[in-house]
Amino acid sequence: MRNAVWISFGVALILVNIIAEVGEHYTGIHIHMLLRIALILGVTMGAFVMSGAITLVNEMDKEVPLSGKTKNTLESDKTEH
């Protein structure tokens, strides 16, 4: 997950600045650096949330069901086997 966040941060850093510079060259509209930083951090936070969700979904497949002998799932199984 950490790698995905760093990769998205690097890609966002490069792409946002390239798009801003090309847009300024063709349109003459300057995009302030604070807006660029906000866009970069927004993309990074979005990638952080999405990679966390993917990790949680992948961990759900590893859960094991209860043994079937317990009636109360909130406490430990006290029956002897």
Q: Over the stretch 15-30, which tens digit does the pLDDT of each residue have?
A: 999 999 999 999 999 9
Indicate whether 80 belongs to any domain.
no
Domain of residue 39 covers 2-55
Give the total number of structural domains in the chain.
1
Indicate whether 78 belongs to any domain.
no
pLDDT at position 5 is: 87
| Nearest-angstrom CA–CA distance, 49 and 5 | 9
| Nearest-angstrom CA–CA distance, 78 and 6 | 46
Indicate whether 77 belongs to any domain.
no
Residue 29 DSSP one-character state? P
Write down the pTM of the prediction. 0.68
Residue 34: burial class (beta carbons within 10 Å; 0-12, 13-18, 19+):
exposed
Tokens read off for 65: 């069901």
